[in-house]
A and B are shown apart, each in its own frame.
Chain A
């Protein structure tokens, strides 16, 4: 980890970056913002860790916990909500056995996220599965997609 952080620090110094660019680099490197990384930078740059945390929690682009290999984002916009997106979310959470406050499965295979209107309301309810937008979602369809992804697990996988 230390090495990766050093790299980010060099980059920050060279490009006269700011906290946001550091956080972006951390997010890109680790897929989330690990507490140790924040503490490391806080010490190096003498910027309170609370400042990093403040910014990391303000912007939706940063994640505080490691995320799964596959990311399923369910839209909760008005249209999707009306068409039952909440049920989809519940199905997923149940299927993955996610405890409250947890969005990622224990084995870090799946993360379930929610989002406000993604702008394709005509296809509501919408889910985005690993960046692929899938419309007219149903619980069955979702389960099938997940099966496919699970199947991949043992085969070739270089999904990010």
Chain B
């Protein structure tokens, strides 16, 4: 520690601090323009100059390290004069455009000019002019306003790891630009926009929407992925006009393109505004959700399509009708003839109410949600081994891993902010191992890349475990104390030699050995995985294998040490926690254990069913067979997200009654008998739980469009009409009720999470929340090593279908696109579906970049544009699943994991043909 005096006040700070840090600690203001606390010091603007006793000239506080006994003066007439001169020079070639500048009122330069009273300039100089090159849809670059502070350059390089821009030229010509002064072509995270102290960089969609006057700022949580970033919505006249993020939150102020620029769907003209009842029979031609219409025409025709298929009705009519149909079907075929799909996009409160509605009002356990398609194998796997299926560590702990093992997760695209944390950890010295069949972006940061064949994860992991046993890197004490069955499990590893591993996975054995030793020796390693692991017929086994790797090395239950499934949607964790499962009540409590059932019967005041309900794919199956008669779907779009589209559509059409509640007319809603317009995340209060179990507050910022209503209101109204009294004066009561039946969240109140969320378990009001799980043991006692064997995927390439197709997400789009594809800016960057194919394969088939090719599997075929890329390995192709015109899930199989019932979306066999386009 070092002690120094600043303006006569003593302060003690850490050794490598700068004078600026010390002054900030004392809350002494020093003007800065190029400094950012998260970035390397730059010392370019010279506004932060201070006088230090014993030094001849003033020096910059942001770059000067403190030393003992230093005496600093931060302000004096002399210094202020210098600062003013510096500012005048900066302004000498500045277009004083404040009147119409997007940043006015939020511009550091303007603010400083105001404080220093600069009205006229002594240095009126030559102005710089730039030709604007900005066709990109997100970021406006008015480089005449750039003061060359370089914050954008540093953030893009140091935090985002992209390096899309840099200084170019020198002297008066110096400028910040992308290579060859082209337009930006980058991740469009907008981090540079967030740090720019002037109006040089702004959001395109901010233009002319309002600046600082009459703006309400509302703190809420991002509606896209499971990172759960904090968003500040800037609202003017009931419209969200800008999104920013505070620095003191889990995401440290960083966002991705979706969070920062993807808010256009809120005010989109296509939002549903009135309840609709079907007027055309479902099997008529008009109602088909597919059929080659492009997104554009579909959008523009929607209103007419609506009026052809549906008529607008009052809420009363709609609710009475839904209640009547549900009651009829229940009376006639029993409660188990009705199924419900809840939504990972909705709040905890709404998910709680939804499952309560299905269980207490309808009387069935047929309730599920999209977790089935992404992480049910995690639950089945991790919950079996550890007794809980959530991320065991928290996001801030990522920074302290010494080894990070990412398997089957394209983290920078699916969980961009966790991706940033991983990159930051790597910069801080952590070793990164990436196992992925594709050359994903993280590979650039990895020390070791294991490019295993899709579907061979178990073999890869076992082979690593083999090496760990052989090298004697197991944690014997941990195994002894916390696990059982290791000895026989160890036997089973014998056959998985690195040679065998290489044979099955295609990864050179030296790599397997190196990765195993690195992980085995690590002190604080973390494993991260997503759908690359779970979406297989052996998804659960993959998860088991990961769990065992952590167990045998004792790498779980400590800070920055654990196993971390990254949850896809914003509230998929919460929807799971709230019991939107056919076999669990809220808090993963089994529906078929009598005393648990009794507890819920008492809490809800009705008799409940102890029959485990149907999973989402089983519901489709049952509907096809005619056993399921009605469905109530809240905020999900199974037509696009489920495997084998044609089958899903067929199943939904077979239903006697389908009610869909959503914010847009989705492909699923088009098949509904009743469509109920819902409020989106910005239009309601509640909570989301992010992937690290953090319960965060969602706040209402704007009124819903037209007559759209909060999902909770709709569920409560329906329940009441079906004769079950649900009454909640305010939404927090629902959360409190959930806390009563699931003690792990009982200690969380809206008041406590007003600023920062809390991580469950948090059982009491004074409990600080739990950043990492399993400190001192597993809730279900010892973890069991059971033996699993590598089993190839259900469908592997053969002569007829020689390619391995894998599906997944990409950065700019989200899930089935019902939100992101409504946003013009995002569509511009990511307009259409494509299939990634290796250059060698492309050559062999004579496929050029951009050519339309036909991809077929045993289930169907689609036409899609080829994107030649070295990301997939040879023999492998990849299609993102967001695009309905070329829906990847036409091709995928419906083979299910026997334990978790998760479909195999990651691996199926396809063939490829060049299409000869005939012009008619």
Contacts and interface: CB of A to CB of B under 8 A. Distances in A.
Contacts of A57: 168-170
A51 B444 CA distance: 17
B179 A53 contact: yes
Contacts of B845: none
A54 B166 CA distance: 6
Contacts of B178: 50
Contacts of B123: none
Interface string A47-73: 111111110011000001000000000
A64 B178 CA distance: 14
A50 B177 CA distance: 8
Interface in A31-51: 35, 38-39, 42, 46-51
B157 interface: yes
Contacts, number: 41
B78 interface: no
Q: Give the interface SS of chain A, mostly helix, strand, loop or mixed.
A: helix
B180 A53 contact: yes
Contacts of A48: 157, 162-164, 166, 179
B169 A49 contact: no
Interface string B424-467: 00000000000000000000100000000000000000000000
Interface string B164-184: 111111100000011110000
Interface residues of A, number: 16
A49 B179 contact: yes
A58 B179 CA distance: 13
A46 B423 CA distance: 15
B431 to A, nearest CB: 17
A53 B166 contact: yes
A58 B177 CA distance: 13
Given A48-B164, A50-B165, A58 B170 contact: yes
Nearest to A48: B163
B163 A50 contact: yes
Nearest to A51: B166
B264 to A, nearest CB: 29
Nearest to A43: B870
Contacts of A35: 179-180
Interface string B132-167: 000000000000000000000000010000111111
A8 to B, nearest CB: 18
A50 B444 contact: no
B168 A54 contact: yes
B540 to A, nearest CB: 36
Contacts of B180: 35, 38, 53, 64
B163 A51 contact: yes
A57 B167 CA distance: 9
A46 B443 CA distance: 11
Contacts of A39: 179
A35 B178 CA distance: 12
Nearest to A47: B163
Interface in B746-792: none
B839 to A, nearest CB: 13
Interface in B266-318: none
Contacts of A64: 180
Contacts of B169: 57-58
A52 B170 CA distance: 14
A52 B177 CA distance: 12
Of listed A35, A49, A54, residue having the most chain B CB within 10 A: A54
Contacts of A53: 166, 168, 177, 179-180
A17 B177 CA distance: 25
Nearest to B443: A46
Interface string A129-144: 0000000000000000
Contacts of A38: 179-180
B747 to A, nearest CB: 47
Contacts of A47: 163
Interface string A95-137: 0000000000000000000000000000000000000000000
B167 A54 contact: yes
Contacts of A52: 179
Contacts of B168: 50, 53-54, 57-58
A42 B168 CA distance: 16
A117 to B, nearest CB: 16
Interface string A74-113: 0000000000000000000000000000000000000000
Contacts of B444: 46
Nearest to A64: B180
A43 to B, nearest CB: 9
A78 B452 CA distance: 66
A148 B462 CA distance: 77
Contacts of A54: 166-168
A144 to B, nearest CB: 34
Nearest to B162: A48
B894 to A, nearest CB: 39
Contacts of B167: 54
Nearest to B180: A35
A103 B180 CA distance: 17
A58 B162 CA distance: 21
A53 B163 CA distance: 11
Contacts of A51: 163, 166
A50 B170 contact: no
Of the listed residues A42, A46, A49, A53, the one surrounded by the most CB atoms of chain B closer than 10 A to its CB is A53
Contacts of B177: 50, 53
Interface of B: 157, 162-170, 177-180, 444
28 contacts: A35-B180, A38-B179, A39-B179, A42-B179, A47-B163, A48-B166, A48-B179, A50-B164, A50-B165, A50-B166, A50-B168, A50-B177, A50-B178, A50-B179, A51-B163, A52-B179, A53-B166, A53-B168, A53-B179, A53-B180, A54-B166, A54-B167, A54-B168, A57-B168, A57-B170, A58-B169, A58-B170, A64-B180
Given A53-B180, A58-B169, 8 more contacts: A35-B179, A38-B179, A48-B166, A48-B179, A49-B179, A50-B166, A50-B168, A64-B180
Closest 3 CB pairs of A and B: A48-B163, A50-B166, A49-B179
